[in-house]
């Protein structure tokens, strides 16, 4: 009975597995019943688009970035105005090292997610990967301007200064992060490492 239900209602099962964060089950289900998953209908509730997104996220979580890209493109094609889809596409493009595609998505996202610090943080990560450190710093600063408590941006800025050998600047930024999250183990470890670099000079 369960098998018949899975074959007849493949989207519902993908949704069920997604709620349980069982990404392997989603991909196994997709492999078995992909012929039943046409995912070509645009609708008010964007049901097919969200199913495509869930398959993309499952593939992303299991590092099958090629499959993830196939389905995130399908999700965007079906529902181009959902920012979450484009945000995921930008991250996947970076993982695929398709920086031009990532930049295209970020240019669209900047118009709708201007107050989302994670968007600016990912934008900064793209800039870093393309050797644009000054632009990356500006993007991370924008993330902090949007949300002064957004720790990932502080860590990213610290990393840029550390790679440049500017450890005093790195310490300044990691200290700011530590004041926000005094018991964060990752922050404390980075702070300790930066101090060690300063003391060995």
* pLDDT tens digit sequence for 92-104: 998 888 999 998 9
Instruction: Round to whole Å and give the CA distance between 182 and 9.
Output: 49
Query: CA-CA distance, 2 to 11, in Å (whole number)?
Result: 14
- pLDDT confidence of residue 92: 92
* pLDDT tens over the chain, length 201 residues: 344 445 566 788 899 999 999 999 999 988 887 766 778 888 888 889 999 999 999 999 999 999 999 999 999 999 988 888 998 999 899 888 899 999 899 888 888 888 899 999 999 999 998 899 999 999 999 999 999 999 999 999 999 999 999 999 999 999 999 999 999 999 999 999 999 999 987
pTM exceeding the 0.75 threshold for the entire prediction: no
Sorted by sequence, the CB contacts under 8 Å of residue 76 that are 6+ apart come out as 82, 85, 86, 89
1-113 CATH, one of 3.40.710.10, 1.20.1260.10, 2.40.50.140, 1.25.40.10: 1.25.40.10
CA distance 136 to 50: 31
In the block, residue with structure tokens 């793209």: 126
If DSSP states are collapsed to H, E and C, what string results for 163-175?
Answer: HCCCHHHHHHHHH
Q: For position 97, what pLDDT does the model report?
A: 87
Tokens of 93: 């493009």
Residues 165, 171: contact at Cβ < 8 Å? Answer: no
What confidence tens digit (pLDDT) does each residue in 87-142 have? 899 989 988 889 999 989 988 888 888 889 999 999 999 999 889 999 999 999 99
| Greatest CA separation for the chain | 69
Q: What is the pLDDT of residue 60?
A: 94
């Amino acid at each position: 009975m369960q098998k018949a239900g899975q074959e007849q209602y493949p989207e519902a099962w993908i949704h069920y597995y997604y709620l349980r964060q069982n990404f392997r089950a989603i991909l196994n289900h997709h492999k078995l019943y992909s012929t039943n998953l046409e995912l070509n209908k645009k609708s008010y509730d964007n049901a097919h688009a969200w199913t495509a997104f869930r398959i993309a996220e499952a593939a992303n979580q299991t590092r099958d970035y090629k499959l993830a890209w196939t389905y995130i493109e399908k999700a965007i094609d079906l529902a181009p105005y959902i920012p979450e889809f484009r945000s995921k596409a930008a991250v996947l493009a970076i993982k695929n090292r398709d920086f031009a595609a990532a930049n295209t998505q970020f240019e669209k996202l900047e118009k709708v997610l201007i107050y989302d610090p994670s968007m600016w943080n990912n934008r900064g990560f793209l800039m870093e990967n393309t050797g644009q450190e000054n632009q990356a710093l500006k993007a991370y600063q924008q993330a902090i301007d949007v949300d002064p408590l957004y720790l990932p941006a502080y860590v990213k800025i610290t990393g840029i200064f550390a790679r440049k050998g500017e450890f005093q600047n790195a310490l300044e930024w990691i200290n700011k992060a530590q004041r926000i999250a005094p018991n964060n183990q990752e922050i404390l470890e980075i702070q300790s490492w930066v101090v060690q670099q300063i003391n060995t000079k």
